[in-house]
Amino acid sequence: MALKTLGQFIIEKQADFPYAKGELSRLLRDIGIAAKVINREVNKAGLADILGESGDQNVQGEMQKKLDVYADEQFIEALSRGGECCYIASEEHEGGIDLTVRTTATSHSGKYIVCMDPLDGSSNIDLNVSVGSIFSIYRRKDLNRPLTEADVLQVGHDQVAAGYVIYGSSTMLVYTTGKGVNGFTLDPSIGEFCLSHPDMRIPAEGRTYSINEGNYLKFPQYIKDYIKYCQMEDVETNRPYTSRYIGSMVADLHRTLITGGIFLYPETSSYPDGKLRLLYECNPMAFIIEQAGGMAISARDRVLDIKPVHLHQRTPIVIGSMNMVKKVCEFMNRPY
């Protein structure tokens, strides 16, 4: 069977959007190119001087690794050059980057807003454990007025596309434009992402739960009860479940998407709003998992229905196989 590259696939899929003029396709292509450049650096991280901490802190007060900075720069450059994007919100920047006010040769009347975590799970880089990039794309609400932060603070169900890149034993790009989820594996011999996982579906049931159990004592009671449920023996429901936690959201969710299962980063006594960021991590992953047939909730709402109030907002998240997330809803005592 002939290989289908990401570029070919994107162009083919443009027909799904009859009024599209190719801007979103070009934006996705630009992201794919940046991902390849980042992949090259991530792969040689163990060798290069680039490995290690850059000494700066990001807005969450955490140490940035050099590769975080590098990945951030690559995405910003690709998106600024492409011209389809008017605003970038990045986990690595306190404020967003308004490309409409940049005085470059290119005019940035771009229609799209991109929120991204350029290199998630960066504490794993030194250890040769999988890391990832996450992106989320929104349409600018009104092209005729100056861009405001409110344009960026859109609710997750308004995303027009979202995806992630996993730099693992192989490198994959997985994305959705709201019509299913497709996965592409980078073939290093030709330097192209090739369609390898068409129409990805998450099984409705899984038998793996993924949570940082070191925080057990800080979890709310319903999470403690759910963990005990996962560990209890029951032949009919295939319990006890297996526990798997990499500590890289992209890697943990990539496994969950393929094999089924559940990933939880709930509110804790140290992180009352959870740890993961709504715009850069939770919304894009929730969009992908829902598009694949799964479910994503926070402590109160469907993740994709949360109205953001600031760029770096965090949210608790429970995400994965539909029936497993519904089971957590029962423990929370909430309808689904």
DSSP for 232-252, please give it. S-BTTTTBSPEE---S-HHHH
Cα(113)–Cα(323) distance, integer angstroms = 33
Q: Which of 7, 240, 247, 293 binds ligand AHM (CB under 6 A)?
A: 247
Closest CA to 249 of 123, 128, 70, 61: 123
290 touches Mg ion (CB under 5 A): no
Cα(139)–Cα(266) distance, integer angstroms = 29
Q: Which of 92, 117, 192, 290 binds ligand AHM (CB under 6 A)?
A: 117
62 touches ligand AHM (CB under 6 A): yes
| Residues ≥6 apart with Cβ < 8 Å to 221 | none
**How big is the chain, counted in residues?**
336
Q: Which of 5, 212, 242, 313 binds ligand AHM (CB under 6 A)?
A: 212
252 touches Mg ion (CB under 5 A): no
Cα(15)–Cα(188) distance, integer angstroms = 29
DSSP for 172-204, please give it. EEEEESSS-EEEEEEETTTTEEEEEE-S----S
Binds 275: which of ligand AHM, Mg ion, none (CB < 5-8 Å by kind): ligand AHM
Q: Which of 41, 117, 252, 290 binds Mg ion (CB under 5 A)?
A: 117
**Residue number with CB closer to Mg ion (72 or 120):** 120
130 touches ligand AHM (CB under 6 A): no
Task: Please name the residue that has the structure tokens 């190119």.
Answer: 33
Binds 122: which of ligand AHM, Mg ion, none (CB < 5-8 Å by kind): ligand AHM
User: Measured from the CB of residue 103, what is the shortest distance to ligand AHM in angstroms?
Assistant: 31
Binds 140: which of Mg ion, ligand AHM, none (CB < 5-8 Å by kind): none
Residues making up the binding site for substrate:
120-123, 212, 245, 275
Question: Binding pattern to ligand AHM, positions 156-195, x when CB under 6 A?
Answer: ----------------------------------------
- The interface with ligand AHM within residues 72-101 (CB under 6 A) comprises 91
* Cβ neighbour number for residue 30 with a 10 Å cutoff: 21
User: Measured from the CB of residue 280, what is the shortest distance to Mg ion in angstroms?
Assistant: 6
Across the chain, the runs of DSSP E, i.e. the strands, are 53-57, 63-65, 85-90, 97-98, 112-120, 131-139, 161-167, 171-176, 181-187, 192-197, 208-210, 242-243, 262-265, 295-297, 317-320
Binding region for ligand AHM (CB under 6 A) out of 82-90, 120-128, 199-207, 299-307: 120-128
249 touches ligand AHM (CB under 6 A): yes
**Residue number with CB closer to ligand AHM (123 or 238):** 123
- Element at 3 (helix H, strand E): none
**Residue number with CB closer to ligand AHM (24 or 318):** 318
Cα(234)–Cα(231) distance, integer angstroms = 9
Binding region for ligand AHM (CB under 6 A) out of 101-109, 144-152, 244-252, 292-300: 244-252
List interacting residues with ligand AHM (CB under 6 A). 62, 91, 117, 120-122, 212, 247-249, 252, 275
